[in-house]
Structure 1
Amino acid sequence: MSGAPLRVVLLGPVPYAEALRVQERCVAAARAARSPTPAPGGPAVRGGPRAVPAESVVLSEPAHPVYTWGLRGAPDAAAAATLRARGAGLVAARRGGHITFHGPGQLLAFPVLDLRRRRLPVRGYVAGLEALVLRLCRRLGLGAARALPPPFTGIWMGDSKLCAIGVHCGNYITSHGLALNCCTDLTWFDHIIPCGLEGKGVTSLSRELGQHITVDHVLEPFLDSFQEVFDCALVFSDDPAD
């Protein structure tokens, strides 16, 4: 896999649902890249006249506050009504994990990788996501950041989660990924039990570093870390079909 190209789709601030739609297009492209012939109207396969990298990572910043939950259960009707009343959207997501928050000031990364090609088990992939965020934290001067064993998936500063991880893998193709709090308004987490973990807090890069750290600020070191951990060459694209 050394130096294999990987497409980076930078969306900037967009609604969470838009990031999901782009992710699904990347998943379709990754599946098509396995086929000897492309589906009618689909993206070209690797090696064809419009060949594109088989793997992608979709990066975005949620433009509006939204609560999402994974396969372990949605909020009940009363809780959902309370969250909506606070001005947040509610979205079910096909990933592991409980309810969490996504909003402005947060980096969302949805890697679309082929774990079969990489000979990588799902647990090894999650460990890779943790490793890349730890590398990012070291680059920013957060040497105390750490990964913990399940069920405490993600990256932590003490008892507070800095980065949440929740993935889906279908036919060896990954989707969803991680949410890194940069300058997120952490009060949105006060209305839920983040990731279903009682007694744990949530933090951000801005809080830990004592300065305003935006999503744009971390994109370059994040991609440097991604490239190192997943051994790939980055190709930038505005559209997953390019």
Structure 2
Amino acid sequence: MIDHALSYRRGQLSPAELLAAIGRFRSAYQTRRLTAALDEIEDSTGDMRLVEGDLHVPGDLDLTRERIHLLVVLGDLLVDGAYGDGDDPESFLLVTGDMRARDVVTAGWLEVHGDLSTDRLIGDYNDCDAHIGGDVRTRLFYGEEHHFTIGGTLHADAVLGRPRLEIATPPTAIALDDPRLLEHVDRDLLRVFEDHDGDGAPITFLDGFRDFRELKRRVRAGLPLRTPPTPATTD
């Protein structure tokens, strides 16, 4: 998908050029990790890539599937499909401009200096984190255990769970035991329990997601998390 990006493994980037790109990370931790990885890349299956300017990916961009340890985009990143990364092995994405993708599922290190726009933003596990310098615009945000830092404003139609979120104005979120979750997610993805109150009226209890892997699969495939009800038919 991004074969035109300059490759460190193929000798298209000098160590000095790659170190300069790595130095654009705002976190010293990422810089240290990636600098140390330069000595190990010959023994790994991953590559480090640099795009000097904007990058448009017509389909999906999955750093793990592309075997990319590091991708630096010195400009804007547009992904027509889903963006994904991993934490085992770890992958790193740095975008110095804005990023836009149909959907985002991030388990690795994600840093965007500008704004991030996506239909659904999903975090995955807690080993790595995401840092967005500008605003985030999304229809649905579920951070799971992933840590997010947002320098601007979060514009989201729905925030699910209790995100590990560092932001000036925390959003109002729908707890994972709140029946309103069913307005955004199909029942088969959730732990749902039915009971009755003292007057015999039905009560629905929720206890979070039953199948988080299926949730991620649907998002990566561009499928809805809540299937619209089938209209009633009349004879």
Could you state the TM-score of these two structures normalised by the residue count of structure 1? 0.24
More helix by share: 1
